[in-house]
Amino acid sequence: MKSLALRIADKRMLRLIGSFLKAGVMENGLVGPVDEGTPQGGPLSPLLSNVVLDELDRELERRGHRFVRYADDCNIYVRSQHAGQRVKRSITSFITRRLKLRVNEQKSAVARPVERKFLGFSFTANGQKRRIAPKAIVRFKRKVRELTRRTRGISLEQMTKEVAAYLRGWKAYFGFCQTPSVLGTLDQWLRRRLRAVIWKQWKRGTVRYRKLCERGVRRDLAAHSAGNSRGPWRIANSPAMSIAFPTAYFDSIGLPRMLTAT
């Protein structure tokens, strides 16, 4: 608040920010107090991070370092491992003693850029292209699995609508990557996931045979697939399900593609 008071003359704004900081957080329907800091993910957090860490930016510029920072996430680029260790110790001391903040040692490291991530992105092995960080892909698949789990008891149309809303936001951010093959692979994985959901919903072999035939699959191929004892995930990648539910089908029900042909 002292740092804000040096920049903001309007006391009403300062009182408003102070109220935000004291408002508490809601967890499991109950409001709990906040003793220090701001709630994780709160709209005020990045603003206050920029205010407080502006002094860090100026210190890094004074030292001549190349760096990139977004809110409380910062990467500093140096020429060697030894220099990295030295700068990490020095900057950690500056943040702790001058800014009175704690550095998350578990998330901090000295490593090559290709081994680290920043805001969900990392680099390819040659360092020339932005790629989606592996952990971001893991979170994407976890979320899609959650949205498409069989026990939800909703129609395929409603499920697709919810998945599409998530995809649009995800693509708006991660579509910035320079590795389109990753987006293409995720497209294929997602369609296979939805085909597996459809196969589970059909349940019985007679229903599966009839539905496949209705969607233009040859009778012999439909019979072979309907009588197959393999699990839904394996069947979802079969020729019969690919014929019955091609990419154009998912386009027609509003599922956006992450990789758009140019």
How large a percentage of the chain has pLDDT more than 70? 94
Confidence of residue 262 (pLDDT cuts 50, 70, 90): very low
| Stretch among 99-103, 193-197, 222-226 having the lowest mean pLDDT | 99-103
Best CA proximity match to 187, nearest among 134, 237, 255, 243: 255
Amino acid at 91: I
Which of the two residues, 52 and 170, has the higher pLDDT score?
170
Residue 212: what are its φ and ψ, rounded to 5°?
A: -65, -40
Q: Is the pLDDT of residue 154 over 90?
A: no
Please identify which residue in the block is written with the tokens 């395929």.
156
d(CA 2, CA 86): 31
- What's the whole-model pTM score? 0.76
Amino acid at 56: L
| Stretch among 35-39, 58-62, 109-113, 180-184 having the lowest mean pLDDT | 35-39
